[in-house]
Chain A
């Protein structure tokens, strides 16, 4: 018997000494531990490069804590997908690992099989109405978060009050404590909503993919993706609004001139305010800003990414290039009707190839149901990860400013160095010190924050193993198969990646997510801010992408991602733009170096390193 093929167990992974102390950044129940080792060893853990490609900033970890509960419970307790259990998380060396838990005992599967149809089928039947209910419910929640009042400071004395009638019920210190609890509650609730329909959406997609493969044994993932993709989805709106604003500006030469100049967005706005047409344009901008500029410049998962609305230089640079393209007489908008028509025509062609009426009927039914609910996958992303998270980060900065103002932290950034269960310590420490009187010291939170920043920097330089433990025999969890793309081949390739030195790898396999072949210079973006280094015509190699990156796709020749199936953002947008894409390679960002000449074969899902940059 050959040696068992496995990845290291968490305890065997050597973490660089510069990262010493990383464990205390995360709640203890989120770490691998001797106490739970027996169970942890029976599961297969892999790094979540979709949602946590970078070292995990403690406060930003809240989303993961929230989804661990919400995703799992919708599978296990709400919709009861029979053999599937949840996706568990663990932190190791500042990176997040996840696992699809092995199936439950047979009798539980039986029980769930009874419940599943009763609970899910009506969702498909009424999805459109359910969405009509979901969206305002979610929007209300976002507004509620926006309305949470964070005191700007803890005043030396509470404002004057009329002692004859009422005394102050509470002080700013209490408001601060309450605001924090409220913000966290809303965030958790938002993530409950996030999974209301997502599990079923993924399941439906997998069902439809099976149908397509039975009818057309060799059909590619990318072709299946094209069949279900929607055109009228919220995710495309931010870019549409940019195009519209660019057109408006293009029609007013003076406005266009200002927007095309090489100045920061703030200066451009000043100049625009000085002319009528400029003021009109700014009004239009204001009108669409909320929600359509509440789109993260990154994935939406990290506070430092920022969003268009608070990093206007980003959308303004896109607007500039759109106006320039309009000057050249190019068309900048993608016709949504044309996209939808092309998709319908494509589905129709496959439909015509089906040999029997009986199969055509089943296909039709499967397609209709899948399309109905698939919109959720495309729409929730904007509203939760972008719009809602933008509001959250803004709120967090309000808290941060208060701590900086009172000298507890050195800068806003420091605040994010504490996880959501630690923040109440900070708040209480500050509130106590304020209440006790003058010159009462708090703990040295700023020093702790500075140390943690160093640890995160060291973590960014470290390449953690893609997976931990023994690969599983079966996977039943729909997200694992579809979103994270865990399949036999994938695990095999990860294993190879571990056994072979990165510089010796010449070929990577992933999902053939968008057709076509392209060869060119690779630009590896490990940290999101490196996006500014990308030059036109390069091939982008990233952990993953998201809607804010959309305009980048008009610059690149092809895209390669570490993790992500054929419905990942990069896959969808590359298909829209007709760029070759290979997603879910597992190790592209560690194997490929910037400057390497690579060939991306989006038809077969293969990336070849043609020539090493320093060879």
Chain B
């Protein structure tokens, strides 16, 4: 289905999204749609497009006000940043969402609930900025994410919160310093079925330590991935060869804290039961499956990726493995690709080897 993306489209299902949708759905959402097309297991959901955001700030008539507030900000002055941020957030939080957009989001959420056959389906509401996730500007993590959001009203509120999160003190300062015009940053929001994560984490399709392109490095911990991403725990680490699938390194760390959903208070950090702390958060079969998926994603995009994954406790293996995000790896991809073998022939290298001795250190 190649539905044309029209200017008036407020909401797009992940299945309608491709790479080309990036300007209207942001990097994160575009990547999710793209992965879905490539056959990667992604939790279902939809994107609230940048058109919604644009119409929200223009339709509500707050564009000018925002610009005025930002005009006087000093990016190195914390107090100035804080007050500007609070002012804008207040402004954006109090303006009612235009009803056409609200209706579209409610409809999208209702469709998602129907698809998953769960009433008030718990979802993750995440920002997906258009300037984010580009290899040259690591905007990652600049905007908010809301987990375990239930019910259409809450979803609407969280979408609005996400929009407001474009103007956190940190984000404002970052953009000013990077010389990135505020008005060029449009925000899309992703609403995605919440994975009931037994374990979650990140993985890279190369070894970030030495750039080894033949490895997938997985880091994971118990519960939701936020514990790993935020650095609240030292995760388990697995280094796996992506060609022969050997696990060449396996570091099991004491995972003291996990991030879980608590029925009453929402998402909380809690202590991991002591008998679970030293146990690997991933089974070998899950590790191998993750590596397979990592390879598939990397092949699809044609460049090294930085991927967030989660393992759902409600599904059997391998349907329990979900990819919640993927973006280009930014560190090694920036480095010039220079040869390491010095253009030598086999004979030259053989001669070198024949002349070499192996050091034995004691």
Does A252 make an interface contact (CB < 8 A)? no
Residues of A within 8 A of B249 (CB): 218, 604
Inter-chain CA distance A366–B349, complex, in Å, is 8
Q: Is the CB of B340 within 8 A of A475?
A: no
Inter-chain CA distance A116–B355, complex, in Å, is 10
Q: Which of B39-47, B190-198, B238-246 is found at the contact surface with chain A?
A: B238-246
Min CB–CB distance B300 → chain A (angstroms): 14
Residues of B within 8 A of A604 (CB): 247-250
Q: Is the CB of A121 within 8 A of B347?
A: yes
Inter-chain CA distance A217–B346, complex, in Å, is 19
Residues of B within 8 A of A207 (CB): 346, 349-350, 352-353
Q: Is the CB of B339 within 8 A of A83?
A: no
Q: For residues 165 through 183 of chain B, which have their beta carbon under 8 Å from a beta carbon of chain A?
A: none
* Contact pattern, B 79-104, Cβ under 8 Å of A = 1, otherwise 0: 00000000000000000000000000
Does B214 make an interface contact (CB < 8 A)? yes
Residues of B within 8 A of A109 (CB): 355
Does A134 make an interface contact (CB < 8 A)? no
Interface of B is mostly: loop
Q: Is the CB of A211 within 8 A of B246?
A: no
Inter-chain CA distance A515–B344, complex, in Å, is 31
**Least CB separation from A345: chain B residue:** B243
Q: Which residue of B214, B247, B337, B354 is within 8 Å of A219 (Cβ)?
A: B214
Inter-chain CA distance A488–B358, complex, in Å, is 9
Does A487 make an interface contact (CB < 8 A)? yes
Residues of A within 8 A of B7 (CB): none
**Least CB separation from A474: chain B residue:** B357
Does A15 make an interface contact (CB < 8 A)? no
Q: Is the CB of A512 within 8 A of B357?
A: no
Does B356 make an interface contact (CB < 8 A)? yes
Inter-chain CA distance A284–B199, complex, in Å, is 59
Q: Is the CB of B358 within 8 A of A492?
A: no
**Least CB separation from B211: chain A residue:** A217
Residues of B within 8 A of A603 (CB): 246-248, 250
Does A76 make an interface contact (CB < 8 A)? no
Q: Is the CB of B360 within 8 A of A359?
A: no
Inter-chain CA distance A588–B249, complex, in Å, is 22
Inter-chain CA distance A216–B339, complex, in Å, is 12
Q: Is the CB of B353 within 8 A of A5?
A: no
Total interface residues in chain A, CB < 8 Å: 65
Q: Which residue of B284, B346, B356 is within 8 Å of A476 (Cβ)?
A: B356
Does B265 make an interface contact (CB < 8 A)? no
Residues of B within 8 A of A223 (CB): 241, 243-244, 246
* Contact pattern, A 325-358, Cβ under 8 Å of B = 1, otherwise 0: 0000000000000000000001001100111101
Inter-chain CA distance A124–B348, complex, in Å, is 13
Inter-chain CA distance A218–B207, complex, in Å, is 9
Does A203 make an interface contact (CB < 8 A)? yes
Min CB–CB distance A561 → chain B (angstroms): 19
**Least CB separation from B244: chain A residue:** A223
> In this complex, which of A81, A211, A346 has the most chain B Cβ atoms within 10 angstroms of its Cβ?
A211
Does A362 make an interface contact (CB < 8 A)? yes
**Least CB separation from A219: chain B residue:** B214
Min CB–CB distance B58 → chain A (angstroms): 46
Does B273 make an interface contact (CB < 8 A)? no
Known: A222-B246, A346-B244, A604-B248. A365 touches B345 (CB 8 A): yes
Inter-chain CA distance A203–B352, complex, in Å, is 10
Q: Which residue of A356, A361, A476, A487 is within 8 Å of B357 (Cβ)?
A: A476
Q: Is the CB of B350 within 8 A of A204?
A: yes
**Least CB separation from B295: chain A residue:** A349
Does B118 make an interface contact (CB < 8 A)? no
> In this complex, which of B241, B342, B350, B362 has the most chain A Cβ atoms within 10 angstroms of its Cβ?
B350
Q: Is the CB of B341 within 8 A of A215?
A: yes
Interface of A is mostly: helix
Inter-chain CA distance A209–B340, complex, in Å, is 14
Inter-chain CA distance A363–B340, complex, in Å, is 11
> In this complex, which of B337, B354, B358 has the most chain A Cβ atoms within 10 angstroms of its Cβ?
B354
Inter-chain CA distance A603–B361, complex, in Å, is 24
Q: Is the CB of B239 within 8 A of A211?
A: no
**Least CB separation from B358: chain A residue:** A475
Does A423 make an interface contact (CB < 8 A)? no
Q: Is the CB of A369 within 8 A of B339?
A: no
**Least CB separation from B247: chain A residue:** A603
Does A156 make an interface contact (CB < 8 A)? no
Q: Is the CB of A492 within 8 A of B362?
A: yes
Residues of A within 8 A of B213 (CB): 216, 353-355
Q: Which residue of B214, B341, B353 is within 8 Å of A353 (Cβ)?
A: B214
Q: Which residue of B214, B341, B350, B355 is within 8 Å of A350 (Cβ)?
A: B214
Inter-chain CA distance A362–B358, complex, in Å, is 22
Min CB–CB distance B147 → chain A (angstroms): 34
Q: Is the CB of B337 within 8 A of A355?
A: yes
Does A12 make an interface contact (CB < 8 A)? no
Residues of B within 8 A of A481 (CB): 358
**Least CB separation from A218: chain B residue:** B212
Does B64 make an interface contact (CB < 8 A)? no
Does A431 make an interface contact (CB < 8 A)? no
Does B1 make an interface contact (CB < 8 A)? no
> In this complex, which of B337, B342, B351, B360 has the most chain A Cβ atoms within 10 angstroms of its Cβ?
B360
Q: Is the CB of A473 within 8 A of B215?
A: no
* Contact pattern, A 201-233, Cβ under 8 Å of B = 1, otherwise 0: 001101100110011111110110010000000
Q: Is the CB of A356 within 8 A of B339?
A: yes
**Least CB separation from A226: chain B residue:** B244
Residues of A within 8 A of B215 (CB): 216, 218
* Contact pattern, A 468-494, Cβ under 8 Å of B = 1, otherwise 0: 000111111000010000111001100
Does B338 make an interface contact (CB < 8 A)? yes
Inter-chain CA distance A346–B249, complex, in Å, is 21
Inter-chain CA distance A370–B346, complex, in Å, is 9
Residues of B within 8 A of A495 (CB): 362
Inter-chain CA distance A83–B341, complex, in Å, is 23
Q: Is the CB of B359 within 8 A of A220?
A: no
Residues of A within 8 A of B243 (CB): 223, 346, 349-350, 353
Q: Is the CB of A220 within 8 A of B345?
A: no
Residues of A within 8 A of B351 (CB): 116-117
* Contact pattern, B 305-331, Cβ under 8 Å of A = 1, otherwise 0: 000000000000000000000000000
Residues of B within 8 A of A355 (CB): 213, 337
Residues of A within 8 A of B239 (CB): 218
Does A113 make an interface contact (CB < 8 A)? yes
Q: Is the CB of B353 within 8 A of A210?
A: yes
Q: Is the CB of A368 within 8 A of B346?
A: yes
Inter-chain CA distance A491–B339, complex, in Å, is 34
Inter-chain CA distance A365–B339, complex, in Å, is 15
Does B210 make an interface contact (CB < 8 A)? yes
Q: Is the CB of A214 within 8 A of B340?
A: yes
**Least CB separation from A6: chain B residue:** B362
Min CB–CB distance B247 → chain A (angstroms): 4
Inter-chain CA distance A359–B341, complex, in Å, is 6
Does A291 make an interface contact (CB < 8 A)? no
User: 29 A-B contacts, Cβ less than 8 Å apart?
Assistant: A81-B354, A83-B356, A109-B355, A207-B349, A207-B350, A207-B353, A214-B341, A216-B213, A217-B210, A217-B211, A217-B212, A218-B212, A222-B246, A346-B243, A353-B243, A354-B213, A355-B213, A358-B343, A359-B339, A362-B343, A472-B360, A474-B359, A475-B360, A487-B358, A488-B359, A491-B360, A512-B246, A602-B246, A603-B250
* Cβ-closest 6 pairs across A and B: A216-B214, A474-B357, A362-B341, A476-B357, A515-B246, A207-B353
Q: Interface residues, chain B, CB within 8 Å of chain A?
A: 207, 210-215, 239, 241, 243-250, 284, 337-347, 349-362
15 additional A-B residue pairs with CB within 8 Å, beyond A124-B346, A219-B241, A366-B349: A109-B355, A116-B354, A203-B350, A203-B353, A203-B354, A218-B207, A218-B212, A220-B244, A222-B246, A353-B243, A362-B343, A362-B349, A474-B357, A602-B246, A604-B247
